[in-house]
Structures are given as structure tokens and as C-alpha cells.
């Protein structure tokens, strides 16, 4: 298959997955946040910090976020698309904020604190999505879509929060904003040619994301087996490690038009 054919296939799959995702969301009734989501298995209090391990395992996000911002502020340390510099800053700034937001949430898990966990994640997700669009499809497209994607992500969390306050919880928009990029990104990676080398960085990040979600899902089972750390705590570590791997590859690669 020629590169032109692969790109045509890619555009088609992006549109189809978007329509399927949107159709799936609209076909469902409002989805309230399951309150059992906040019932994590490891609630040990250490040094007067409740849910200690779920809180402190957010420190890696702070480290990776700070490292990324620091290196972006020093030209030449990271090979990025110059016109998208602000998106890369948002990616690592969002990662930094995840460390604070998720840590705050895990001190007292409920719907009110969960807002501060989800807002930073949407910033990082949407920034990453626009970066991948710019690197693989077109710089102009990634640049133009950055603000709409960020606003959509933030709005999805705000909408969910106020729907819960009204007693009509609705997670559908947030679910679409979070998971659609995870469907579209593999399509983009496979069907479009990157302006940068070391494309495997994004595959490693996706793998880390999948493993992290599995750890999250099997929170209690992993804690019962290991005895000293839960699946959710490992989720934090693995997802932060995925961001660190991405940061390492950003230092090694070469990009056309990098800053």
C-alpha cells in the first residue's frame, strides 16, 4: 500500500471511529459516576497521610512534568516541532498538575476532589493529541486544533461536575474526550508518516497507558497478591514512567522544523 493510500485509509478510519464513538455516547442515557470508584483497596495511613501510597505515588508525575518543562525552556534539549512548542509545554505542565490533582483527590476520594484529578489529565491528553496530529498529519492542523481540543476537554469535566451537583450525573462527554484519542492515535501512528524519528515513543506511551488501566481495574486483586502495593498505586507509577520514556525519546530524536 502506497503512503498516499495509507493516508486516505487513515483519514477514513479517523472519521469512522469518531462517528462510532459519538454514536455510542449519544445512544446511551446519562452515565453517573459510580460512587464505588472511590473505594480503593489500599487505605493505609502512614505519617498521618491517609491513603498514603495512592497519594505519594503521584510524585513521579511531578518529577516528569518539571523535567519536561525545564528541558523545553532550554533550546536544543528536546527535539520538538517549534511551532507547537506551547502544546509540548501544556503536555508536561498538565502532567505536573496531574501530580498535584491526583494527590489531592486521593487524600479524600469523592466526586468533588475527583474534578481536580480529571482536569489536568484532560489538559495533558488534549495537548498530546494535538502534538501527534501536528507531527504526523499537518503542523497547521495540530496548531489550529489545540485550543478547541483543550476547551472540549475542560468543558467535558466541568459539564460532568455540574451534572453530578444537579443529581443528574453524566460522564458521556468526558468518556468520549478521554477515550477517542486513544482510538485515533494508533490509526494516526500507523497510517501517517511522522516528521520526527523515534516514532516508537508513542507506542511505548500507549502501552504504558493500557498497562496502567489494567492495574487500575485490578486494584484489589494486585494488592491481595503483592500485599504491599495496590494496582492503583502501580497505575500512577507506570503511566508516569510512560511519560518519562516519551521525554527520553524527545531528547534522542530528530524532527524536521524542530526547535
C-alpha–C-alpha distance, residues 181 and 132, integer Å: 10
In a domain, 33, yes or no: no
Indicate whether 220 belongs to any domain.
Answer: yes
In a domain, 144, yes or no: yes
Place of cell 518543562: 69
Q: How many domains does the chain have?
A: 1
Alpha carbons 209 and 50: distance in angstroms, whole number: 26
Please check whether residue 44 lies inside any domain of the structure.
no
When pLDDT is cut at 50, 70 and 90, the band that residue 171 belongs to is very high
The answer to whether residue 82 scores a pLDDT higher than 90 is: no
Q: Is residue 46 pLDDT above 90, yes or no? A: yes
pLDDT in tens, 7-27: 889 999 999 988 888 887 778
pLDDT tens, position by position, 120-148: 999 999 999 999 999 999 999 999 999 99
- For residues 30 and 55, the model is more confident at 55
Does residue 116 sit in helix, strand or coil? helix
The pTM of this model reads 0.93
pLDDT of residue 257: 52
Is residue 169 one of the residues assigned to a domain?
Answer: yes
Which residues form the domain of 134? 3-28+49-252
In a domain, 92, yes or no: yes
- Which residues on neighbouring strands pair with residue 255, listed in sequence order? 196
Asked, for residue 34, whether it belongs to a domain, the answer is no
Asked whether residue 154 is assigned to any structural domain, the reply reads yes
pLDDT for residue 134: 95
Band (pLDDT 50/70/90 cuts) for residue 169 is: confident
For residue 37, give the DSSP letter.
G
What CATH number is associated with residue 191? Answer: 1.20.1070
Chain-centre distance for alpha carbon 60? 15
φ, ψ for residue 90 (rounded to 5)? -65, -35
Vertex 246 angle, CA 242 and 249, to 5°: 140
Helix, strand, or coil (residue 167): coil
CB atoms within 10 A of CB 197: 14
Alpha carbons within 13 A on the beta-carbon side of 36: 3
Least Cα distance to 145 among 13, 7, 14 occurs for 14
Amino acid at each position: 500500500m502506497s503512503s498516499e493510500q495509507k493516508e486516505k485509509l487513515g483519514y477514513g478510519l479517523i472519521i469512522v471511529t469518531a462517528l462510532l464513538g459519538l454514536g455510542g455516547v449519544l445512544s446511551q442515557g446519562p452515565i453517573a459516576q459510580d460512587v464505588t470508584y472511590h473505594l480503593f483497596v489500599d487505605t493505609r495511613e502512614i505519617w498521618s497521610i491517609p491513603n498514603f501510597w495512592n497519594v505519594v505515588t503521584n510524585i513521579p508525575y511531578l518529577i516528569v512534568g518539571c523535567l519536561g518543562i525545564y528541558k523545553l525552556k532550554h533550546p536544543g534539549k528536546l527535539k520538538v516541532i517549534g511551532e507547537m512548542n506551547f502544546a509540548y509545554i501544556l503536555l508536561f505542565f498538565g502532567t505536573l498538575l496531574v501530580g498535584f490533582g491526583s494527590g489531592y483527590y486521593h487524600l479524600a476520594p469523592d466526586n468533588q476532589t475527583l474534578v481536580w484529578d480529571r482536569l489536568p489529565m484532560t489538559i495533558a491528553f488534549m495537548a498530546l493529541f494535538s502534538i501527534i496530529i501536528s507531527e504526523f498529519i499537518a503542523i497547521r492542523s495540530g496548531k489550529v486544533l489545540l485550543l478547541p481540543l483543550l476547551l472540549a476537554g475542560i468543558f467535558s469535566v466541568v459539564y460532568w461536575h455540574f451534572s453530578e451537583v444537579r443529581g443528574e450525573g453524566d460522564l458521556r462527554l468526558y468518556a468520549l474526550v478521554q477515550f477517542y484519542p486513544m482510538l485515533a492515535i494508533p490509526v494516526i501512528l500507523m497510517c501517517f508518516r511522522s516528521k520526527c524519528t523515534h516514532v516508537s515513543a508513542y507506542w511505548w506511551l500507549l502501552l504504558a497507558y493500557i498497562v496502567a488501566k489494567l492495574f487500575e481495574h485490578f486494584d484489589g486483586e494486585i494488592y491481595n497478591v503483592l500485599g504491599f502495593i495496590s494496582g492503583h498505586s502501580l497505575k500512577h507509577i507506570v503511566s508516569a514512567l510512560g511519560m518519562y520514556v516519551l521525554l527520553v525519546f524527545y531528547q534522542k530524536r530528530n524532527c524536521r522544523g524542530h526547535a
